[in-house]
Structure 1
Amino acid sequence: MSQEEEEKKQDTQVESQTSQEKQRNFLRKQHEEYLLSLEKSKDLDSIGYYLTEHLRIGGAYWSLNALACLGIKLPQEKVDKLVKWILSCQNEDGGFGGNTQHDSHITSTHYAILTLIIFEELNKVDIDKVVGYIKSLQKEDGSFMGDTWGEVDTRFSYCALSSLALFNRLNEINVQKAAEYVLRCRNFDGAFGGSPDAESHGAYIFTGVGALTIAGYLDAFDKDQLGFWLSERQTSKGGFNGRPEKLADVCYSWWIYSSFRMIQRVNWIDCQGLENFILDCQDSEGGIADRPENCVDVFHTFFGIAALSLLNQQKYDLVPIDPTFALPKPLLLKNFPHLSHIVNTL
């Protein structure tokens, strides 16, 4: 190879490296604009709008918590309007539906509570009614139903324990049985499924470990064995998959990395590789997709930003988020001092 060809090759490599570094800048302004534009993008003629109508409370939490991580506060007039809408989603049984006039569900109830906490407006809700609703969903074996139809898995255990812990009302349920049920969902590989004997899954590990952290049973299982299973979820791309032989997905950056934080095994993975994967999933116009080059959505945008906050909040100038409660840490320490034994140690 001639000197001229060698220099040209080096220039190409430098340009490629510069381009990659540019792509991996955190697009803060674009994400802010994307999140703030979501309310204006309602296409009432689109079937997608109606197919996702039951997810409105969840969508509010994902977008508003992402903005909170970015340090963005909405005008009080807008907050008042959103709080009024959230309260309109509460039903007579005390639970919240995914939208106005939707049946109550424990996940929607949890999202409503978290969103009101972000606004510091939790005092606007009848907490006794919510607690009564959550209590009514615990079964004899300690598990929780999602709603009156009876579906059970550890997502609902986590939602129940998180909500009641935030209310400082864990004594209203049988915490020991709740924890024992989650522990029965642990598999031979050391990881957790959504129910006893169900396949181990990254998202259910978050709900299982989160529930056990809140319940005070974090030392009731082998954290090294779980950490080994979790570390195998990191792919060559740097991102995590949720199960063996699956593609990496940005949402597992949160589910799995927050679990690593709770069991204190973060040094077992390539954190820089995970950061790079999340940044590669950004769209130049704002928002984060499940994987590079795919379409963005608010779900993955939140989990990508939240994971970056956990990974390196100072580098990305993000408000620190708590890995157990998935809320801004300063907000928890300010308004929920009874949880400082969990929040301060993670």
Structure 2
Amino acid sequence: MNNLLQTFNLELHKEYLTATTNRAINSNGSFQTEFNSVFIHGMYWVLCCSNLIKFDILNELNIKEVFNHLLEKCKRELCLDGPSLNIYSINPSDLVSPSILSLLSGTQINALKKNRIVESNIHATNKFIKSLSIFKFDKMYINHSKNCLIQQDIRFVYSALLISYLSNSLDFSRIKQTLPISKLINLLNDLQNKDGGFGRRKNDESHAGYTFCAVASVAIIKLISVDDDINIMLNFNRLNRWLLKRVIVSESHIMSPMDQSYCFNGRTGKKCDVCYSWWVTASLKMLEYINPESNNANFISNPKVFGKLINGVLCHQNNIYGGFQKTPFIFDCRDHSDPLHTFLSISALSLLTNNYLEHPDSNSHKFTRLTESFNSISKIDPVSVLPEVFSITSDILAKSTQI
């Protein structure tokens, strides 16, 4: 495969997202689509992705009412102590118990739909999260759901923190009543591996996706604890080094050193997968806030690196049907685009082009041709994984710098 300079094909991606959404909405009865059993997650991926490329897909397809109806059908009545709660489940059809993951996607969708972080149903949300909390000695864990008691998964900790962060933005004290921050810090301190990364549980192999969840959890704790003295004992140097080691040469361009692109793997010794372009770059960006000494802007915006990182993501762009796929696009390959890799690829491009192009080293004519097709991509917040316009993170950071 020739490593020609790639461009971002905006119109083709709009066509892909349109076709994917139509199939998901119109085939909801049979549910034989890419969203088969992950409806609420898939709609979050598509809505967020569409918003990043400034494409109002619900109005464009005239399906806002249908979508709202399906989203409402995702809610399940859950009986805890006191009045019953309505919490998001994974799809409109199956009688699946609500989980912390499906509630997160529902919360993010509501933020995207209403152009603001919603304050509705805060009591039910906080009560549900509290019901999933398990305390063991000086640490706190979050279960997956009331019917599936899977503990010690860092994804559930991140999900609980982010839901609370988005739902309680007007009063962070409510978060601390629901989630004892000191116990979560103890858990995060205990989960870091010797190589600096994080696995799903203690002593699991370090993995970029789980490392993102840990880094984002620390970022949220710092954001909601601006005035508090918190004791985060992570080894940030090792963490930063482990993340930078995830940058590898794209396997499709390994033969020509002059034309190589860079991509990311999720674990040591593994092949590249475009989804890790988001998990890794977002973690590196959040580290700049958590630990200012971990400033990776000089590395990423280096002209010798930046273009290869961007091109490495674009190599996964499906130039026939639109969207992005897990492996590099080759005309005769059997791989296909999917909503998750499309969402994470466009999110990574948003993060790279809206943050590191502002760096002085990137003011070069070499970047002009590469990045002029990215003017249509909005800026994403790495903490909430929402377009920055819907996020509260920038407001909190602005306030914290004034203290």
2:175 corresponds, among 170, 173, 185, to 170
Equivalences for residues 31-180 of structure 1 within 5 A: 31-42=13-24, 49=32, 52-73=35-56, 74-75=58-59, 78-93=63-78, 94=85, 95-100=87-92, 101-120=95-114, 123=118, 125-140=120-135, 141-148=139-146, 149-152=148-151, 153-168=153-168, 169-171=174-176, 172-180=178-186
AA at the equivalent of 2:283? S
Relative distance call for 1:302 and 1:50 in structure 2 (3 A) is: closer
Correspondence for 1:301: 342
**Count of residues in correspondence between the two structures:** 324
Correspondence for 1:248: 272
Which has the larger helix fraction? 1
Relative distance call for 1:174 and 1:118 in structure 2 (3 A) is: same
AA at the equivalent of 1:58? H
Correspondence for 2:388: 329
Report the TM-score when normalising by structure 2: 0.74
CA deviations over 1:149-188 (Å, ceiling 9, x no partner): 2112010000000010111241222122122212211011
Task: Tell me if 1:226 matches 2:220.
Answer: no
After TM superposition, give the deviation of residue 88 of structure 1 in Å.
Answer: 2.2
Correspondence for 1:12: none
Q: Is the 8 A contact 2:49 2:343 kept in 1?
A: yes
**What is the alpha-carbon distance in structure 1 between the residues aligned to residue 314 and residue 144 of structure 2?**
34
- The alignment partner of 2:202 has SS state of coil
Which has the larger strand fraction? 2
**Among the aligned pairs, what percent are the same residue?**
26
After TM superposition, give the deviation of residue 51 of structure 1 in Å.
Answer: 8.8
Relative distance call for 1:47 and 1:275 in structure 2 (3 A) is: farther
After TM superposition, give the deviation of residue 234 of structure 1 in Å.
Answer: 0.9
Q: Which runs of 5+ in 2 are unaligned?
A: 79-84, 169-173, 223-229, 251-261, 289-294, 330-334, 358-370
Q: CA RMSD in A?
A: 2.8
After TM superposition, give the deviation of residue 87 of structure 1 in Å.
Answer: 2.5
AA at the equivalent of 1:131? N
**What is the alpha-carbon distance in structure 2 between the residues aligned to residue 166 and residue 48 of structure 1?**
30
Bigger relative contact order, structure 1 or 2 (CA pairs below 8 A, ≥6 apart) = 2
CA deviations over 1:292-322 (Å, ceiling 9, x no partner): 1231101000000000000003731211000
1:259 corresponds, among 283, 288, 305, to 283
Report the TM-score when normalising by structure 1: 0.85
- The alignment partner of 1:235 has SS state of strand
Relative distance call for 1:81 and 1:52 in structure 2 (3 A) is: closer
Moved more, 89-98 or 287-296: 89-98
Q: Is the 8 A contact 1:175 1:215 kept in 2?
A: yes
1:194 corresponds, among 200, 205, 220, to 200
**What is the alpha-carbon distance in structure 2 between the residues aligned to residue 142 and residue 135 of structure 1?**
11
CA deviations over 1:111-146 (Å, ceiling 9, x no partner): 010011001176595221122111111110311111
Q: Which runs of 5+ in 1 are unaligned?
A: 1-15
